[in-house]
């Protein structure tokens, strides 16, 4: 059944001249049929380069929107419109405009996990792989970082001479990790290095041997000699980790590391997306141009 659907999708994809991209947090059966699997930075760059006219974006809404902002002439399809990101919803353009007034000299750095409207209000975007270098690149001494307080705090711990004002957003998946859980696992696997995502809270990041985006965690795991590795990010990364490192064991910090929004997309949805060309992601042209400036400024670094 899964194979039948996957086969059907591969056929439709060719007929429609479509490209399927998937984030590392998608289910395994989706990652298997994707032309590209990556973190949000890699997927934004890929979306710009692909030759096909249509992009089927298996991820959450802000990611498909980012692809549309960068590739306005392509048809970008999000198979499930309700696949959102609660963190992205934790900042609205109205709220951001108000807070910007309080800090007129600050530059606004916006994590890509945000709406097109919020990106349009920002000076530059960043992802979890480049937040530190983006901040270091800016001349401003004061930075307003939205919406992830944990990625912002992690970046602040890595840069000098900058006053970083944090928004109070967070990822509902990574935020729930408890220090006691981590200490318990660390006791059980004392020699296993701990690799975590910067969306985790500081009391988790403090114990980590490595902090990075999904793609950076995957790269790091390949170069580690130990056979057991502890992972502090969404379970979808386990697919690539296991595929690339068949002789290593990956221990997830918590069984609850599942992003329900990332898991909304099924193979049936992808098939229907190709057949019906739904749901088309569109961004108002005025917003798109402003958001594009913030994204392109990041990409050009």
Binding residues for iminosuccinate: 23, 40, 111-113, 128, 197-199, 214
Residue 87 interacts with ligand SF4 (CB under 6 A): yes or no: yes
Question: Binding string, 57-86, against ligand SF4, x = CB under 6 A?
Answer: ---x------------------------xx
**Binder of residue 172, out of ligand SF4, ligand CIZ, none (CB less than 5 to 8 A by kind):** ligand SF4
Find the binder of ligand CIZ among 31, 40, 240, 261 (CB under 6 A): 40
Cα 214 to the center of its chain, rounded Å: 8
Find the binder of ligand SF4 among 31, 66, 113, 214 (CB under 6 A): 113
Tell me the binding residues for [4Fe-4S] cluster.
Answer: 85, 171, 259
Within a 13 Å sphere around the CA of 196, how many CA atoms are in the beta-carbon half? 27
CB of 15 to ligand CIZ, least distance (A): 30
Burial of 2 (0-12, 13-18, 19+ CB in 10 A): exposed
Distance, in Å, from the CA atom of 36 to the CA atom of 80, rounded to the nearest integer, reads 19
Distance, in Å, from the CA atom of 122 to the CA atom of 173, rounded to the nearest integer, reads 25
Distance, in Å, from the CA atom of 76 to the CA atom of 203, rounded to the nearest integer, reads 38
Q: Helix %, strand %, coil % for the chain, to 5?
A: 45, 15, 40
**Binder of residue 99, out of ligand SF4, ligand CIZ, none (CB less than 5 to 8 A by kind):** none
Which is nearest to 239 in space by CA: 14, 7, 8, 33?
A: 33
CB of 190 to ligand CIZ, least distance (A): 27
Size of the site for ligand CIZ (CB under 6 A): 9
Contacts (CB under 6 A) with ligand CIZ, residues 145-204? 171, 197, 199
Size of the site for ligand SF4 (CB under 6 A): 14
Decide if 46 contacts 74 (C-beta within 8 A): no
Distance, in Å, from the CA atom of 120 to the CA atom of 53, rounded to the nearest integer, reads 25
Find the binder of ligand CIZ among 44, 113, 130, 261 (CB under 6 A): 113
**Binder of residue 213, out of ligand CIZ, ligand SF4, none (CB less than 5 to 8 A by kind):** ligand CIZ
In this structure, what DSSP letter does residue 176 have?
Answer: G
Decide if 70 contacts 48 (C-beta within 8 A): yes
Residue numbers of the site for ligand SF4 (CB under 6 A)? 25, 60, 85-87, 113, 171-173, 199, 234, 259, 261-262
The residues binding ligand CIZ (CB under 6 A) are 39-40, 113, 128, 171, 197, 199, 213-214
């Amino acid at each position: 059944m899964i194979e039948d659907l996957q086969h059907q999708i591969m056929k439709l994809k060719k007929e429609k001249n479509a490209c399927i991209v998937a984030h590392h947090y998608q289910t395994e059966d989706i990652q298997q049929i994707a032309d590209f699997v990556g973190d949000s930075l890699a997927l934004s760059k890929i979306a710009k380069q692909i030759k096909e006219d249509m992009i089927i974006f298996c991820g959450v809404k802000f990611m498909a929107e980012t692809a549309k902002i960068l590739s306005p002439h392509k048809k970008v399809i999000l198979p499930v419109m309700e696949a959102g990101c609660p963190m992205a919803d934790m900042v609205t353009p109205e709220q951001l405009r108000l807070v910007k007034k309080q800090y007129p000299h600050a530059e606004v750095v916006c994590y890509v996990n945000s709406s097109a409207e919020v990106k349009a209000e920002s000076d530059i975007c960043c992802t979890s792989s480049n937040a530190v270098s983006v901040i270091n690149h800016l001349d401003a001494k004061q930075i307003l970082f939205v919406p992830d307080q944990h990625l912002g705090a992690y970046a602040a711990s890595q840069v000098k001479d900058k006053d970083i004002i944090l928004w109070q957003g967070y990822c509902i998946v990574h935020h729930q990790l408890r220090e006691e859980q981590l200490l318990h696992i660390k006791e059980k696997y004392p020699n296993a290095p701990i690799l975590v995502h910067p969306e985790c809270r500081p009391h988790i990041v403090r114990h980590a041997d490595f902090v990075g985006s999904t793609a950076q965690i995957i790269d790091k795991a390949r170069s580690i000699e130990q056979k057991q590795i502890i992972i502090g990010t969404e379970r979808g990364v386990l697919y690539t980790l296991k595929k690339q490192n068949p002789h290593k064991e990956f221990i997830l910090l918590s069984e609850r590391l599942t992003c329900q929004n990332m898991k909304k997309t099924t193979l049936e949805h992808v098939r229907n997306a190709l057949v019906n060309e739904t749901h088309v992601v569109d961004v108002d042209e005025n917003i798109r141009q402003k958001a594009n400036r913030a994204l392109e400024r990041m990409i050009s670094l």
